[in-house]
Structure 1
């Protein structure tokens, strides 16, 4: 009885399979940590977005009360990114990319939404990636993939829709910023080209241009910015058959619906609102009526 057991325990293959088991256990533990962190980042980002929906003005700092309430959630996101920074290095960056993408997209949605409220501009990929990098200054940082950045911007359009419709239903006016000097929403995307153009123009004259001589574009509102975002996102050229292309196709249809909803609400406010008594607010339920009901009426 002792002979077979001793030969079995002394098998040369046992250490190899034990190392395989150790690697698999480590893989599953790492995967679970990344998934849990992604869920916590998603939950904290949603809470930030809910608080930001209470803002009613554009181009101004976040109110102190909302900013103070969101501080704990930004800190929670930073803690979660720090906890998985070592797990997402090297090949593991792509190996567990699908496990962290949900948290990255929700984080980008919250970050870009707050940046838009404060500046009425779209945050660039470099700024967003730097924000994640600075969360773990003492070590390796989590890489924010360009795909997560783009998908997060798609989701942000939905928050702009809620922001615009809520403001119109509450105040009777679509949110908009002040007239700005040659500044558009997606101008920050082509910042390099604009910088080169500005530099070339500045060398053509020796005298600085005064603020009065600088042309200003008309006041932009949320709908104009959403239309510009739709225009720029529809110009994306993606490799067919990839997972990223499938995600973009799904979010593209939702984004178009969000823009149409704001257009319908603004139509009811500006056109049909003139037929209503003073103080009338748009009934958002009107946009849910079927086309057949309108025609029959």
Structure 2
């Protein structure tokens, strides 16, 4: 009898320990299940972020390519051909298409997202666009748009689906049922333009003004050379006072701006000194151009602001 009772106690004790282990395993499984669900959720969020980032990069490439083409188009303006109005009208149309299409797509991608996390994805395209847009405004004899104006241009109205929940009356065989009907409302979305991006894009206009100065020299339009030189001097006066601390890109672009000013000043100086000979020299190719502006002035001093 004693042996039987002791064996029963051992069985009950082992069953109790097994039950404790079983409950512990169930608890660990539940914890592991919650962790796995959370990590799956995090993975989905990261995949969504990376996919959105790549989509924005592709759109930015399209903006960059089209902006470069618009700049090239604007450089085809020739006073002898009298094609200024036609070229400006085409450039305006293509700029409006960029507003309405590519930037609209970026704004939709940024809807309800932290735009600063994706700003680097379209930084290059935005700077190239600001360069093209500002160069167009300069040639169109209008004031350059400020950062606020460009930011307002990049705001769009979109239609979004909104859930309208309707509660149904409880019946005997049914619980409360919520049916979601969708309706649309207008929401304003925007493509973020940071002031730094605007300044960097505006600094790139200096290169286009320098090219316009050289091209005008080649066709004998001397007045445009002096006009570009004056504008570049104003640009440099404004940019040279900016703090370039921790802004390596800005320091590099101000250095390039300085070289553009020096080149146009050298052109204008030689025009004053050598007169009508300037146009012939300017149209004589790269070698003749270097002999005219000076080869030492054609080198970019990258360490000027370092």
Structure-2-length-normalised TM-score: 0.68
Q: What is the aligned-residue RMSD (CA, Å)?
A: 2.9
Does residue 285 (structure 1) correspond to residue 305 (structure 2)? The answer is no
Does residue 144 (structure 1) correspond to residue 193 (structure 2)? The answer is yes
Judge which range, 65-74 or 91-100, deviates more. 65-74
Residue 203 of structure 2 corresponds to which residue in structure 1?
154
Secondary structure of 1:137's match? strand
Relative distance call for 1:234 and 1:279 in structure 2 (3 A) is closer
Q: Which has the higher strand share?
A: 2
Instruction: Determine the C-alpha separation between the residues in 2 that align with 1:69 and 1:120.
Output: 14
Match 2:154 to one of 118, 127, 132: 132
Judge which range, 64-73 or 97-106, deviates more. 64-73
- Map of 1:269-280 to 2, 5 A cutoff? 269-273=271-275, 276=277, 280=280
Residue 41 of structure 1 corresponds to which residue in structure 2?
63
Secondary structure of 2:189's match? coil
List alignment gaps of at least 5 residues for structure 2: 1-28, 159-187, 283-287, 298-306
Residue 247 of structure 1 corresponds to which residue in structure 2?
249
Instruction: Determine the C-alpha separation between the residues in 1 that align with 2:271 and 2:193.
Output: 40
Q: For the pair shown, which has the larger CA radius of gyration, 1 or 2? A: 2
- Map of 1:1-297 to 2, 5 A cutoff? 11-56=33-78, 62-68=84-90, 71-72=93-94, 74-89=96-111, 92-119=114-141, 121-133=143-155, 136-138=156-158, 139-175=188-224, 221-238=227-244, 240-241=245-246, 245-273=247-275, 276=277, 280-282=280-282, 283-286=288-291, 287=293, 289-290=295-296
Relative distance call for 1:259 and 1:38 in structure 2 (3 A) is same
List alignment gaps of at least 5 residues for structure 1: 1-6, 177-219, 292-297
Q: How many residues align?
A: 233
Structure-1-length-normalised TM-score: 0.69
Secondary structure of 2:46's match? helix
Structure 2 contact 73–87 (Cα < 8 Å) conserved: no
Instruction: Determine the C-alpha separation between the residues in 2 that align with 1:140 and 1:165.
Output: 41
The Cα shift of 1:125 comes to 1.9
Instruction: Determine the C-alpha separation between the residues in 2 that align with 1:66 and 1:263.
Output: 27
